[in-house]
Amino acid sequence: MVDFVLNGDAVSVDVEPDTPLLWVLRDTLGKTGTKFGCGVAACGACTVHVDGVAARTCVLPVEAVAGSEVTTIEGIADGGARHRVQQAWIDAQVPQCGYCQPGMIMAVTALLAENPAPTDADIDDAITNICRCGTYSRIRSAIHRAARA
Amino acid sequence: MARKKDTTEGKPRSRARRRFLIGSTVAAGGLFVGWQLLGTDGPPDPVALMNPGADEAALNAWVKIALDGTVTVAVPRSEMGQGVHTALPMILAEELDADFAKVRVIGAEIDKVYVNSTMLPDGLPFGPHDDSFIARQGRQVGRWLSGVIGIQATGGSTSVRDGWQPMREAGAVAREMLKQAAADRLGVRAASLETEAGEVVDPASGRRLGYGALAAAAAKIRLETIPALRDPSQFRIIGQPKPRIDIPAKVDGTATFGIDVRLPDMLFAAVKHPPVVGASVKQFDPAQVQRMPGVVKTVAVPGGIAVIADSTWHAKQAIEALDVIYDTGETPGFSTEGLFRTYAAALNESGHEFQDDGDVETVLEAAGSNVMELTYRVPFLAHATMEPMNCTARLDGDRLELWAPTQGPMVSQWIAAGEADLDTENVTVNVTYLGGGFGRRAEPDFIRQAVACAKAVPGRAVQVIWSREEDMRHDTYRPATLAQFRITTDDDGRPRAWANKLVGPSVSGQATMRYISMASDSGPDRTSVDGAAWLPYAIPDMRVEHVLSRVPVRVGFWRSVGHSQNAFYSESVIDELAHAAGKDPFAYRMDLLADSPRHANVLRTAARMAGWDSGTKTKGAPAGRARGIALHESFDAIVAQVVEVAVEDGQPRVHRVWCAVDAGIAINPDTIAAQMESGIVYGMSAALFGEITFEDGSPQQSNFPDYEVITMGNMPLIETEIIKSTEAPGGVGEPGTPPIAPAITGALFALTGQRVRELPVSRHDWSGFGS
């Protein structure tokens, strides 16, 4: 059994300890907002927060988060109110197919927690997630928008 | 999630209501030529197709209205990021005069009324502006045949082009029905009433009636004729940047993609395909992995093997552990370089001539040694959608249900029925959101595999998920092709005779053979010359032919299809001609566009946006940078792009892109801008880095680390201008892609003098240039 906190709730999962957190979230706990993209931590679609820090979960064994606080896209809104990054994503009309966007939003919320007013260069360095729809321009403008909010 | 219930389930329960709704169904059924030609089944039943709830009334097969005024529009096209779940409702809402804030979307059922009658005519071997009798007849037959087959598919940038008329008519019919219902209630003539944002207004009395309160009565109204459609000058919704309806669910994790489908007691399957093209599975032993954690069953599926388990991870572990013996097939030594040698030999053959204007050979012969010969080539490309291929299926007795991120629900239903030996009426297809499509999700391979897995575990849903490696190694690639040009110019350097021979496989033929086994790929495939033939430039003698050279690799529709490589060829050659003539590439093109004012206007707009300066070597770019320009028409839209490049640390870098687009009447300008950016980035990834290469029969790339794509760090600044137009709407999902490659390579030539005749750009050495 591996115990951790998911979006504020204690959870306990009975899986092999080397199972990647991604599949525990998706298949065991039914939290499908976190996506599978590459399986090698290259694309960032599976990004969540582990103790507030962005982590790519397709290669992260669940045993590594034992006792940690894990936050997924389902857990960043404050009750009924969207997180300011989510709102910025709507205001800037960022998503197209939308598949990479939960991972993008999780990467960006982690960035803003650490660096509340990132420059373009900071963004380039920190946000390395892949979006095949090419929404990067709008992502950049939404990050600046969220930073001002 | 779009829901496509089968009609056998819907019809009996709707029969009681059918009689009093018949008026509206007749009105709706009279809308379309294609539908009328079908005739035999009678008009579509809006109740069966729209499944209205107790507080809703279906006015036709596209729209139902709830008591609270919520307008629900059925969209028969897949949302894969292109914004169709907003654009088509905008068109209907315009004529309906709906309050767009109250518009909701559902996926439409599979029914012939939702036919896409633009795809087939688009594939005919006539130029887009060919107005000859035979071309017009051909298109008409194509539309009719589309209706007979009932093609319900998303692709070819057809959704808005095809939906423009039916969605407007469906909205206008519903509006007039609501007005008539209001007129009956108010005791006035319908013609004296007006509509405004979800209400019928009586200007004489000032009384207003909401659509919600009128819908039930309106559903019983019968119209004799199709109402007049609104003049574009009166549009209130079309042309306004509307927030996309699907976006809120895409920022909170609730949007359901194929991979997110969760059903009670479901299982998960991982697949493995033969590593070599043309190979097949010979032998494997299920017992080898049967005792691994969570494994339920190991089965042969079309194209490979699947392990079904209780979780994706368990399935993946087991399939990786499974030892398989393969029959190597007939092409174990297949390689990209070998293929290009085959292609080069095929240049000696004559191909299918799609265009043959004037007398090319005579002019070329007369030119003697003054003939420019150029050879270009492009590699195979993967689609690399963010969501890997997947499909969920459940077989329950003689009922098969699919949950699929597919561009082709009708074909999926048909293929699935065949795999399960069922009638199509017994197959329900639920279309989820698509995590990218780009043409890949028009294929039925992952559908077949899901059905095979479902058959192995009756009564339980199975979700088949490909790993990224399987997705990239077993894609239906954009084909590698070869292009040869022989051109002679007049005294001013303008092209006088232009002979272009293209060599490669038939994408349409191969794809059709995957849908229908008895099909053939030997017929002319227009996509092979799209973007090479029927150029907007004045070229007196021009011939474009395609030599079919089959490949053992699966090839398919890749964003903009033939345009993706042919625009690179054609526009690069125009650039070479401009250079040879000592002329500015913008001015040179403008000179050739004297008879194509619409194209000229788009090109001029892009140049103006960029501040293109014909008088300087860098065309107005700052020091250390240079600019290139390209123009291309595809899918009824014309796009011109100017790019500004540099070479930094030995790597080409695109800093800025200016994009002008004339896509006819703009439905949602914000979506058009987004699609231009999207098409540019997709094309940039391909132009700069994209290639799938084969050695010893195997693709050498398998995941993002070795199939590099644009990310935030090398993203250029993109500006888009949408040209105001009164022409019918064009496509926007694909047309942004074709011009970017030649614009980039043209700019690199201007900067370095190095001409890229072989993509991607990363194959070439740039270390001697720039900073």
Nearest CB among B465, B679, B709 relative to A130 is that of B709
B580 pLDDT tier (thresholds 50, 70, 90): very high
What tokens appear for B461 in the block?
A: 């849903």
Position B113 scores a pLDDT of 87
Check which CATH number belongs to the domain holding B693 and give it: 3.30.365.10
pLDDT of residue B149: 82
pLDDT mean across residues, chain B: 93
pLDDT of residue B572: 98
B602-641 residues touching A, CB cutoff 8 A? none
Q: Which of residues 547-576 of B touch A (CB under 8 A)?
A: none
Q: Which residues of B touch A56 (CB under 8 A)?
A: none
To test the contact with chain B by mutation, choose from A137, A139, A140 the residue with the greatest count of B C-beta atoms within 10 A, namely A137
Total of domains in chain B: 3
Domain termination residue (choose one: B465, B500, B522): B465
Least Cα distance to B450 among B413, B408, B397 occurs for B413
Give the whole-angstrom CA distance, residue B671 versus residue B197: 22
User: Count of A–B CB contacts within 8 Å?
Assistant: 175
Residue of B400, B326, B327, B743 lying closest to B575 (CA atoms): B743
Radius of gyration (Cα) for chain B, nearest Å? 27
Domain final position from B193, B211, B242: B242
Q: What pLDDT score does B431 carry?
A: 98
- 3-state SS of chain B: helix, strand, coil percent to 5? 35, 20, 40
Nearest chain B alpha carbon to A82 = B252
Cβ–Cβ gap A137/B718 under 8 Å: yes
Check residues B402 and B120 and name the one with the higher pLDDT: B402
Minimum mean pLDDT among A117-121, B16-20, B191-195, B252-256: which range? B16-20
How, if at all, do strands B541-548 and B495-504 pair?
Answer: parallel
Q: State residue B17's pLDDT score.
A: 31
Rounded CA gap, A45 and B496, in Å? 52
Mean pLDDT over B216-237 rounds to 92
What is the C-alpha to C-alpha distance for residues B68 and B297, in angstroms, rounded to an integer? Answer: 50
Residue A82 CA to residue A149 CA, distance in Å, equals: 12
- The answer to ipTM > 0.90 is yes
Residue A82 and residue B709: Cβ atoms within 8 Å? no
| Same domain as B92, residue B70 | yes
Q: Give pLDDT tens digits for B303-345.
A: 999 999 999 999 999 999 999 999 999 999 999 999 999 999 9
Instruction: Give the CA radius of gyration of chain A.
Output: 15
For residue A86, what is the nearest residue in chain B, using CA coordinates?
Answer: B251
pLDDT per position as a tens digit, B336-384: 999 999 999 999 999 999 999 999 999 999 999 999 999 999 999 999 9
How high is the pLDDT of residue B322? 98
Instruction: Tell me which residue has tokens 């087991």.
Output: B318
Is residue B29 scored above 50 in pLDDT? no
From the list B83, B311, B670, the residue facing A23 with the nearest CB is B311
CB contact under 8 A, B386 and A37: yes
Per the CB < 8 Å rule, is B438 touching A32?
no
Please say whether the beta carbons of B218 and B210 come within 8 A: no
Q: Which residue of A has its CA nearest to B385?
A: A132
Which of B251, B293, B433 has the CB atom closest to A90's CB atom? Answer: B251
What mean pLDDT is predicted for residues A19-29?
Answer: 98
User: Domain check: are B519 and B644 in the same one?
Assistant: yes
Q: Are residues B444 and B490 in the same domain?
A: no
Task: Give the confidence band of B5 by pLDDT, cuts at 50, 70, 90.
Answer: very low
Please give the C-alpha separations between residue A94 and each of A73, B78, B251, in angstroms, as whole numbers: 16, 19, 9
Please give the Cα distance from B507 to B524 (Å, whole number): 10
Identify which has the larger pLDDT, B670 or B146: B670
Q: What pLDDT digit, counting tens, does each position of B524-567 carry? A: 999 999 999 999 999 999 999 999 999 999 999 999 999 999 99
Peptide bond into B760 cis (omega under 30): yes
Q: What is the mean pLDDT of residues B610-621?
A: 91
Residue A25, classed as helix, strand or coil, is helix
Pairing outcome for strands B71-75 and B63-66: antiparallel
Provide the residue range defining the domain that includes B274.
258-329+389-465
Find all residues with CB under 8 Å of B631, minimum gap 6, and list them. Answer: B536, B571, B589, B599, B602, B603, B606, B638, B639, B640, B739
* B711 contacts A125 by C-beta, under 8 angstroms: no
The token pair that represents B496 in the structure block: 């006088």
Which of B502, B613, B515 has its CA nearest to residue B556? Answer: B515
Co-location of B639 and B728 in the same domain? yes
Q: What is the pLDDT of residues B625-641, one digit of tens each?
A: 999 999 999 999 999 99
Phi, psi of B567, rounded to the nearest 5 degrees: -65, -35
Q: CB A136 to CB B715 under 8 A?
A: yes
pLDDT at B43: 56
Could you say which of A26, A101, A123 has the minimum Cβ distance to residue B712?
A123
- Whether B26 has a pLDDT exceeding 80, the answer reads no
Q: Does domain A84-148 have CATH number 1.10.150.120?
A: yes
Q: Tell me, yes or no, whether B131 lies in a domain.
A: no
User: Which of chain B's residues have a Cβ under 8 Å away from the Cβ of A90?
Assistant: 243, 247-248, 251
CATH placement of domain A2-75: 3.10.20.30
Tokens (6 digits) for A75: 């857990």
Helix, coil or strand: residue B248? helix
Clarify whether residues B601 and B720 are in a common domain.
yes
Q: Is B677 on the interface with A (CB under 8 A)?
A: yes
* Same domain membership, residue B290 and residue B171: no
Beta-carbon separation of A130 and B711 below 8 A: yes
Rounded CA-CA distance B259/A26 in Å is 10
Residue B173 has pLDDT above 80, yes or no: yes
Contact flag B386-A42 (C-beta cutoff 8 Å): no
Residues of B in contact with A135 (CB under 8 A): 674, 677-678
Nearest by CB to residue B712, choosing from A32, A35, A140, is A140
State the smallest CA–CA distance between residue B82 and chain A in angstroms.
6
From residue B252, give the alpha-carbon distance in Å to each of A4, A31, B248, B403. Answer: 22, 11, 7, 21
Shortest distance, CA B547 to any CA of chain A (angstroms): 32
Q: Residue written as tokens 């790929």?
A: B521
Mutate to test the interface with B, among A96, A120, A136, A141 (most CBs of B within 10 A): A96
Q: Is residue B728 part of a domain?
A: yes
Mean pLDDT value across chain A: 97
Write down which residue in B414, B435, B465 finishes a domain.
Answer: B465
Check whether residue B428 and residue B301 sit in a common domain. yes
What is the three-class DSSP state of B45? coil
| Cα separations in angstroms, B266 against B79, B302, B311, B314, B338 | 25, 21, 9, 14, 45
pLDDT at B39 over 50: no
pTM for the full predicted model:
0.95
Band the pLDDT of B517: cuts 50, 70, 90. Answer: confident
Closest by alpha carbon to B683, among B392, B402, B438, B327?
A: B438
Decide if A73 and B252 are in contact by the 8 Å CB cutoff: yes
Question: CA–CA separation, B265 vs B663, rounded Å?
Answer: 48
Please check whether residues B515 and B640 belong to one and the same domain. yes
Provide the 10 A C-beta neighbour count for residue B237: 23
Domain edges within chain A: 2-75, 84-148
Q: Assign B28 a pLDDT band (cuts: 50, 70, 90).
A: very low
- Are residues B615 and B728 both part of a single domain? yes
Query: Do B719 and B619 belong together in one domain?
Result: yes
B566 and B431 belong to one structural domain: no
Burial class (CB in 10 A: 0-12, 13-18, 19+), B375: middle
Q: B255: nearest CA in chain A?
A: A33
Measured in angstroms, the CA of B428 and the nearest CA of chain A are apart by 23
Please report which confidence band the pLDDT of residue B225 belongs to, taking 50, 70 and 90 as the band edges.
Answer: confident
Determine, yes or no, domain membership for B133: no
Interchain contact B653–A (C-beta under 8 A): no
Residues B435 and B531 in one domain: no
Least-confidence region, from B10-14, B126-130, B354-358, B512-516: B10-14
H or E segment at B65?
Answer: strand B63-66
DSSP letters of B139-163? HHHHHHHHHHHT-----TT-HHHHH
Region B509-524: mean pLDDT is 91
pLDDT at B128 over 90: no
Q: How confident is the model at residue B12 (pLDDT cuts 50, 70, 90)?
A: very low
Both tokens of B310, joined, read: 């209780």
Separation of alpha carbons B676 and B674, rounded Å? 5
Give the mutation candidate from B80, B84, B250, B465 for the A interface (greatest A CB count, under 10 A). Answer: B250
Q: Hey, which bits of A14-103 come out as E strands?
A: 47-50, 53-56, 69-71
Q: Indicate yes or no: CB of A100 within 8 angstroms of CB of B386.
A: yes
Whether B667 and B163 have beta carbons less than 8 Å apart is answered as: no
**Residue of B50, B158, B155 whose CA lies nearest to B113:** B50
Whether residue B252 is contained in a domain is answered as no
Sign of CA dihedral B339, B483, B556, B654: positive
Q: Pick the residue from chain A with its C-alpha nearest to B315.
A: A23
Given CB atoms, is B259 within the 8 Å cutoff of chain A? yes
